[in-house]
Chains A and B, each alone.
Chain A
Amino acid sequence: MVIDCKHVWNFISDYIDGTLSEEAKTDVQKHLAHCEICSAILDSTRNVIILTADDHVFELPVGFSERLHARIDLELKEVSG
């Protein structure tokens, strides 16, 4: 089936996750082969996902772990004492 750009946009997330049916996947791939705008949308979406998953984007504050475990220690003592 020939699908237009807007259809492809609806499929992008499932396409990236590999959860599209074989038929829909083939339709999307056929469209991507000749549509540079949709290809750029797919590539940039994938790129955004990879960048946001990088551990450097969200780092724990310095000393977070130490303070957390000190608080847990207090709780453990309180409960057992």
Chain B
Amino acid sequence: MIAAILGGETQLFHELIRPHERSVYLMALSYMKNEADAEDVAQEAFVRAYRNLASFRAESKFSTWLISITLNEARTRLRRKALVPMDSIDTPPDEDQHVSPALLRDWREIPSEAAERGEIRKLLQEAIACLPDIYREVFLLRDVEEMNINETAAALNISIPSVKVRLHRARMMLQKQLAPQLKAATQQSKRRWFPWS
């Protein structure tokens, strides 16, 4: 399809990018922290991808190429605005630090329908937003966008062992924060739904 677009069938670009709208927007949102700026960055990333389509190398995946354009665009904007320190570039968190999980005695599975509820959704979004950049970007690509390890490493331009270590830390950090919160939230709502129980 890319060859056809470069050959003049430019309208096909709409179809090419459709499957990637969400992942590009998510990566932009994870850096910009607000919907309006994230949308702006996402649009700009797609426009840049179009302008630079001729430089896309067939040996990489289009999705990982798009993500790296998006990250560049988001980082450039943040640097320009100097909104937040770039902890992923300037001060990498200590990669050797250990993350201890939240200790619980039992865990009652929370069904995935719970993610539709506003309060649960907010807890999940906030916990992911609180992760340091280098852990959040790996977690979003691997566990939210479900990219594989190789694709994630390529999109972020990091090694495969780094993807594994960062993903593990991200998951442990999220478990530590979310497990007690989710437990409390679902217990509370159960009481609300069934006041007699």
Contacts and interface: CB of A to CB of B under 8 A. Distances in A.
Interface of A: 9-10, 12-14, 16, 19, 36-37, 39-41, 43-45, 47-54, 56-58, 60-61, 64-65, 67-69, 71-72, 75-76, 79-80
22 contacts: A13-B164, A37-B105, A40-B105, A40-B107, A41-B103, A41-B179, A44-B182, A45-B174, A47-B110, A51-B112, A52-B124, A53-B143, A57-B124, A58-B26, A58-B125, A60-B25, A64-B25, A64-B42, A68-B39, A68-B42, A79-B50, A80-B10
A65 B21 contact: yes
A9 B100 contact: yes
State the main secondary structure of chain B at its contact with A: helix
Interface of B: 10-11, 13-14, 17-18, 21-22, 25-26, 29, 35, 39, 42-43, 46-47, 50-51, 100-107, 109-110, 112, 114-116, 120-121, 124-125, 128, 139, 143-144, 146, 164, 167-168, 171-172, 174-175, 178-179, 182
A47 to B, nearest CB: 6
Contact of B43 (A16, A47, A49, A67): A67
